[in-house]
Amino acid sequence: MAKRGYFSLVLHSHLPYVLGHGIWPHGAEWLYEAATETYIPLLMALERLVSKGIRVHFTIGITPVLQEQLKDVRFKEGVKGYIEQKIDSAKEDEVYFLKTGYKHRASLAVFWQKFYEQVGEYFDRINKDILGKFATYYKAGHIEMITSGATHGYLPLLLKDESCYAQVLEGKRAFSKNVGLGPSGIWPPELAYRFSYEWKPPVGNYPKYVRLGLEEIYNKLGIEYFLVDHHLIEGGKAVGTYIGLFDALRLLWETQASAYKPLEIEKKDTLRNYYVVSPGKKAGAGVFARDPRTAMQVWSRDIGYPGDFAYLEFHKKHFPGGHRYWRINGKDVDLGNKDEYR
């Protein structure tokens, strides 16, 4: 008989602070889209499962930057207008597609109408409080919620330990204020980590000093565990997500590669959890690593969902409403040649 196994499903959510910085393409609409097509549908699915008595156990990390935006009245009012606009544009698309002979596309427009109507009704029902609804499930023990750095600062490169401490402290405070309970874990910005060692800043006239390991800071602030990328456990090279997609990133990496030293391959693996303590220190914290195969399924257009023909083509939208009516049918297929979603 096979042994019973366990895994941790950890979702992570972060967006830069876009409120007050315009609407489109990289302003508030970015946040509205994430809320209506990801956060709210996730809550709706969670509600259905809980109502059926199904035990739901996953962890979601919501960064303080995103928390503050989800609580902002500008977001709550803006989303309502966004939903109304999406419904109206889907109705206009339906009329246009029927007039031009695209009957299947017209049926997809009806789907988008119903989708956004349901999202809008649910948003009103939870009093426009996405974060509060997640917190309700957290307090009831259905899910776990974790925090991140206050302003998403890259902790290993911050000049002073005090800055790292402040990022984690304020991240914890923001979480406690917005959620109503303290976090037991943290998704560090970019899953970055550093241990304790003697270091001299490369710029400025600063003396050498022994930097704290990040796990010491987590321990002091009552954070029990953190997450890292797989190569920090298994060794080897960090695998960049976008290097293969953009020539500029690839060229930038090639110019810096000589300064990068791959980690020695270890016998450890990401299927176990560990307790981290820097050499010569006592305070530590638990660590979980992101599974590389799972991560590639989420991110990779070559072997993951972004390249699977069963999914909508994210990058092709119908003007002016912005709805998607096409599916993925090959990573090298021009957007003009995408098939209708079926």
In this structure, is residue 179 part of a structural domain? Answer: no
Contacts of range 16-20, beta carbons closer than 8 Å, 24 or more positions apart: 16/65, 16/152, 17/65, 17/68, 17/69, 18/69, 19/69, 19/72, 19/74, 19/75, 19/78, 20/74
Closest by CA to 93, choosing from 318, 317, 316, is: 318
In this structure, is residue 212 part of a structural domain? Answer: no
In this structure, is residue 221 part of a structural domain? Answer: no
In this structure, is residue 81 part of a structural domain? Answer: yes
In this structure, is residue 337 part of a structural domain? Answer: no
In this structure, is residue 113 part of a structural domain? Answer: yes
pLDDT score at 303: 85
In this structure, is residue 138 part of a structural domain? Answer: yes
Segments of the chain with pLDDT less than 70: 1, 236-246, 249, 252-254, 256-266
What residue numbers bound the domain in which 53 lies? 19-143
**H-helix or E-strand spanning residue 291:** none
Q: At what angle do helices 103-125 and 40-51 cross, to 10 degrees?
A: 70
Q: How many domains, the chain? A: 1
In this structure, is residue 129 part of a structural domain? Answer: yes
